[in-house]
Structure 1
Amino acid sequence: MSDGNIDLAKDARARAYATPLDQLNPAQPALFQADQMWWNFERLRKEDPVHFTAESEYGPYWSITKYNDIMAVDTNHQVFSSEPGITIAEQQGDQGPLPMFIAMDPPKHDVQRKTVSPAVSPVNLAKLEPLIRERAARILDELPIGEEFDWVDKVSMELTAMTLATLFDIPQEDRRRLTYWSDVVTAVPGQGLIDTLEQKMQIFVEYHAYFTNIWNQRVNAEPKDDLISMLAHGEATRNMEPREYFGNVVLLTVGGNDTTRNTISGSVYALNKNPDQYKKLRENPGLIPSMVSETIRWQTPLAHMRRRATQDIEFGGKLIRKNDKVVMWYVSGNRDDEVIERPNDYIIDRERPRNHLSFGFGIHRCVGNRLAELQLKIVWEEIMKRFPEIVLIEEPKRVYSTFVKGYESMKVVIPKRA
């Protein structure tokens, strides 16, 4: 950590504890980008685990910051609804949030989710595994040795985009369009990728048109086992409104891209920050599956999910009113020392490494969680065969977002091959 970052950390901690509790607002993208949001959550877990922020750029909202409370909200969809959206920021556009199955309640949620879930079934993952391995090997074999490069661009984005293009059954040459569209969906105007909301909406038009064209091809062809065919031929989804179809495409794009990509980058970062753990992994590559789960917890690639109270409810000693916005901070729950021992430490041989909130709980538990774990496991098995070490050159550039907890770029060097 550079001196500047140490100062920022001191300042962020001091500010978090000096701010009057009723004015504490953990949803600050600038703090997430600086990786200095931890202190607000630490304080809230200790002093006010069910916390109301009256004023923020996202309006008033409740923060749920402890592991067991988050699980209680996440598994009670009757009282805590996913409609109309799942992020603290209302989605943009004149027509309000895009409908998508993650932002629906049963029964509609269940039938739509069931339509696409065969794409990530154990049978399909077994078919995908050799293809993912072959691609991971090729990506790694093409990396420069002894030269600085961006790990996010060359590895994390590349592998996840290839897998996603396969799941959609679109040409591999279009895979980086998926990465770009996924980034645009979660981008904040004026923070680098897009300048204005109008520009974002214009990109959405192009994104929507691309997938409308694919729908039209698939709906008139024999059913296959790609995601778009499943939606086009599924009993519960074939008569969807165009906006609802597009909403589900957006969900599958972001879900299939951001989480895995940011955890692949996060694993390189975490192992560099914890050289004792990297040494442990080199000495025992059998720890890869456990390391993967620990990274998913430690990274928490999606920092939060939002719910809406469907009725007045007393929760954690507070009265949450009907229609209040309730934010489950997974990033905080994954650091709750009442449930996870030494939660701020990165320990790749934890006793129960899959004991984390990163995939959510209940009916909305991440449908692709096993695919995410599989990609990470494969990429690390292939890394360990090739490179004794991947060295982080400088602090990575992080995403400006309270939702996607990830990396824009990460400079590394690979000193030598194994």
Structure 2
Amino acid sequence: MSQSAAQPDPLSAALQDIDFSDPRMFQRNNWHGYFARLRDESPVHYQAESPFGPFWSVTRFADIVAVDSNFEDFSSEPTIVIGDLDDDMPLEQFIAMDPPKHDVQRKAVQSAVAPQNLAQMEALIRSRVADILDQLPMGETFDWVEKVSINLTTQMLATLFDFPFEERSKLTYWSDMATAAPEVSGGEADPEERQAALMDCLATFTRLWHERKGTERSSLDLISLLQKDPNTEDIVDKPMEYLGNLILLIVGGNDTTRNSATGGVLALNQNPGEYDKLRADQSLIPSMVSEIIRWQTPLAHMRRRAARDLELNGQQIKEGDKVVMWYMSGNRDERSIDNPNDFIIDRNNPRHHIAFGFGIHRCMGNRLAEMQLRILWEEIMQRFSHVEVIEEPRRVLSNFVNGYEELKVRVHPV
């Protein structure tokens, strides 16, 4: 697909002439009009042709909740992204499994983000955030994505995996490679580079697994948690399953927080009245964090497969059909959210959003993501009167990750 080719007009083009999987919609941030039309005219919409094959788009909040909450009829297997699995890299991961296998594998690592561990992590996160922010160059233009968003989330990932801290940049690289394949999300990753990166990830974590076997580690260490659980104690002997779950945990720990940490800065700059509200009342930070996550929606979609012939909002879906829940669209659905296109940091019910999903696959680390963002903004407001956006962001080319490559900013002291 040519990146410079014109996109059809969102208002006048026939719906069958619009490719709703086009990653340029998200990179150019012009997706709103296209999905508003689907919500109004064809909320469960069949697209017969796309670079990812035929699929249904589900775009209204209530319909997405119905699909996401019904794993019996809408299976997560074999994958949760719009593109099909690569035959050379048939990753298995619990987010793309149905019960009972999903449940036992998720349970093995769930305790890492249990309330007592989150409480234990808070002081560590705060000290790291303080260190990151104290090193920012006051009055100079720099890239917030690199200096803050990536730095913070990569340090957290290194902690959760007890990963060698000086090599933590590999975690970000592997995450980016995992989600950027053209056939997976319309990204631009070179297939050979991607395969090499994922094989390096597998080799590194296989070595860490064997080094840790039989040793006592931190209660946060995800590798040790997998080793201790009888359902996953031999997962290292199933390389595609081990790698798949590692990638799931790395991407899950990386993309949501990283892109929301950038999206919040952008949203406040685009809505200066809300920034004024925040300066006047910092007790709004927790509700603002939920609003940032809704407004950003770091993962644009999740995919399911119809397990039988069924009807959804008047449409007949056949067994085996690909069903794509557009979380970004659901979070802008005025049928379920008041003034959904407005960024409002003191909403009455700010956690009423779909960015974390629903049902058994609801984001495992959602409380950790919220905590990191809350601490980040508490520490920002102690230091800076304004994180000023200097130029338009550069966004990721992907129909899956709604993210940023660069956001140039300047910070001003309190």
Q: For structure 1, which segment, 242-251 or 22-31, has the greater mean C-alpha deviation from structure 2 after superposition?
A: 22-31
Three-state SS of the structure 2 residue aligned to 1:291 is: helix
Match of 1:245 in 2: 242
How far apart, in 2, do the equivalents of 1:122 and 1:396 lie?
Answer: 35
Q: 1:187 to 1:95 in 2, by over 3 A?
A: closer
- Give the Cα separation in 2 of the matches to 1:184 and 1:92: 13
Partner of 1:277: 274
Aligned to 1:48: 42
332, 337, 345: which one pairs with 1:335?
332
Between 1:198-207 and 1:138-147, the stretch displaced more is 198-207
Change (3 A) 1:365 1:192: closer
**Residue in structure 2 matching 1:315, options 312, 316, 322:** 312
Kept in 2: contact 1:33–1:401 (CA 8 A)? yes
Name the amino acid aligned to 2:301: H
Whether contact under 8 Å (2:142, 2:408) holds in the other structure is yes
Change in Cα spacing, 1:195 to 1:290, as seen in structure 2 (3 Å) is closer
Residue 262 (structure 1) aligned with residue 259 (structure 2): yes
Question: In 2 relative to 1, CA 189–21 (structure 1 residues): closer, same or farther, beyond 3 Å?
Answer: closer
> Is 1:136 the counterpart of 2:132 in the alignment?
no
Please, which of 136, 146, 150 is the counterpart of residue 157 of structure 1? 150
Q: Deviations over 1:189-227 (max 9, x none)?
A: 599996521221111111110111111122232364210
Task: Find 2:349's aligned residue among 343, 347, 352.
Answer: 352
Identify which of 147, 161, 166 aligns with 1:168. 161
Per mean C-alpha deviation after superposition, the further-off stretch among 146-155 and 241-250 is 241-250
Corresponding position: 1:122 with 2:115: yes
Matched, 1:227 2:235: no
Corresponding residue for 2:408? 411
Paired residue for 1:75? Answer: 69
CA distance in 2 between counterparts of 1:357 and 1:107 reads 24
Structure 1: distance between partners of 2:388 and 2:223: 39
Q: Deviations over 1:362-405 (max 9, x none)?
A: 00000000000000000000000000001000110000000000
Matched, 1:300 2:297: yes
AA in 2 matched with 1:105? D
Q: Return the letter of the residue paired with 1:203.
A: A
What is the Cα deviation at residue 19 of structure 1? 2.1
Tell me the distance in 2 between the aligned counterparts of 1:174 and 1:250: 17
Rounded Cα–Cα distance in structure 2 between residues aligned with 1:243 and 1:162: 25
Aligned to 1:4: none
The 1:334/1:192 distance shift into structure 2, 3 A limit, reads: closer
Aligned counterparts of 1:195 and 1:251: Cα–Cα separation in 2: 18
Q: State whether structure 2 residue 108 is matched by structure 1 residue 112.
A: no
1:216 aligns with 2:213: no
Q: Quick one: distance in 2 between partners of 1:123 and 1:136?
A: 20
Question: Which segment is superposed worse, 189-198 or 298-307?
Answer: 189-198
What secondary structure, in the 3-state scheme, does the structure 2 residue paired with 1:347 have? Answer: coil
2:21 to 24, 27, 32: 27
Instruction: Quote the Cα distance in structure 1 between the aligned partners of 2:199 and 2:89.
Output: 14
Q: Distance in 2 between matches of 1:402 and 1:187?
A: 10
Please say if residues 306 and 326 of structure 1, whose CA atoms lie closer than 8 Å, have aligned partners that are also in contact.
yes
Return the letter of the residue paired with 1:254: V
Deviates more, 1:273-282 or 1:229-238: 229-238
What is the Cα deviation at residue 314 of structure 1?
Answer: 1.1
When the two structures are superposed, what TM-score results if normalisation uses the length of structure 2? 0.95
Structure 1 residues 95 and 254 mapped into 2: Cα distance closer, same or farther (>3 Å)?
closer
Contact between 2:64 and 2:327, CA under 8 Å: does it hold in 1?
Answer: yes
Q: Tell me how far 1:242 sits from its aligned partner.
A: 1.8
Question: Aligned partners of 2:354 and 2:154: how far apart in 1?
Answer: 24
The alignment status of 1:63 with 2:57, answered yes or no, reads yes
Q: Tell whether the 8 Å contact from 2:396 to 2:402 is kept in structure 1 after alignment.
A: yes
Task: Report if aligned partners of 1:223, 1:233 keep a CA contact under 8 Å in 2.
Answer: no
Query: Counterparts of 1:74 and 1:331 in 2: how far apart (Å)?
Result: 14
Tell me the TM-score normalised to structure 1 length: 0.94
Classify the secondary structure of the residue corresponding to 1:17. Answer: coil
Partner of 1:5: none
Q: 1 CA distance for matches of 2:33 and 2:130?
A: 40
- Partner AA of 1:54 in structure 2: A
> Does the Cα contact within 8 Å between 1:184 and 1:193 map onto a contact in 2?
no
Q: Does 1:398 align with 2:395?
A: yes
Helix, strand or coil: the match of 2:345? coil
Q: Residues 302 and 327 of structure 2 are in contact (CA less than 8 Å); yes or no, is this contact kept in structure 1? A: yes
Contact 2:23 2:186 in 1 (8 A): no
Bigger drift between 299-308 and 83-92 goes to: 83-92
What does residue range 81-100 of structure 1 map to in structure 2 within 5 Å? 81-96=75-90, 98-100=91-93
SS at match of 2:385: coil
Of stretches 21-30 and 185-194 in structure 1, the one that deviates more from structure 2 is: 185-194
1:174, CA displacement in angstroms? Answer: 1.5
Task: Check whether the contact 2:125–2:156 (CA below 8 A) recurs between aligned residues.
Answer: yes
* 1:315 Cα offset (Å): 1.1
Structure 2 match to 1:102:
95
SS of aligned partner of 1:18? coil
Partner of 1:3: none
1:146 to 132, 139, 151: 139
